[in-house]
Amino acid sequence: SAVISQKPSRDICQRGTSLTIQCQVDSQVTMMFWYRQQPGQSLTLIATANQGSEATYESGFVIDKFPISRPNLTFSTLTVSNMSPEDSSIYLCSIRTGRYSEAFFGQGTRLTVV
């Protein structure tokens, strides 16, 4: 399976600031996803970031708050903008080679907003 590297692994940020999370894959993949895992909760899909098209956001998530870039088939970034303590979560990137194929995840970014 592909190796997925996420940076940073954790960060503590001041409210009102923004953080950009990077996801690097060691092979080309079409489908890349960004998830959020709030404390004690399961994973919620933020958006799908397929190369060559605009990111598709799930209900409750907007581009102004979570802008995503997908410049090529091995890299994506998620920015958490104008952060508040409610944004404190683990953010994870995930890849799949096809709609029904096995999903793989990065190690996550643990974000704390103070």
Partner 1 sequence: KQEVTQIPAALSVPEGENLVLNCSFTDSAIYNLQWFRQDPGKGLTSLLLIQSSQREQTSGRLNASLDKSSGRSTLYIAASQPGDSATYLCAVNGGGSQGNLIFGKGTKLSVKP
Which residues make up the interface to partner 1 (CB under 8 A)? 1, 4, 6, 10, 31, 33, 41-45, 48, 56, 58, 90, 92, 94, 96, 98-100, 102-108, 110
Q: Which is nearer to partner 1, 10 or 15 (CB)?
A: 10
In angstroms, give the least distance from the CB of 55 to partner 1: 11
Alpha-carbon distances, residue 14 vs 11, 80, 87, 103, 108 (angstroms): 10, 12, 11, 32, 20
What's the maximum distance between 2 C-alpha atoms anywhere in the chain?
39
In angstroms, give the least distance from the CB of 66 to partner 1: 16
Q: Which is nearer to partner 1, 80 or 106 (CB)?
A: 106
Please, which residues have CB within 8 angstroms of residue 49's CB and are 6 or more apart in sequence?
32, 33, 34, 55, 68, 69, 70, 76
Q: Which is nearer to partner 1, 47 or 83 (CB)?
A: 47
In angstroms, give the least distance from the CB of 47 to partner 1: 10
In angstroms, give the least distance from the CB of 78 to partner 1: 14
Residues in the chain: 114
What is the three-class DSSP state of 6?
Answer: strand
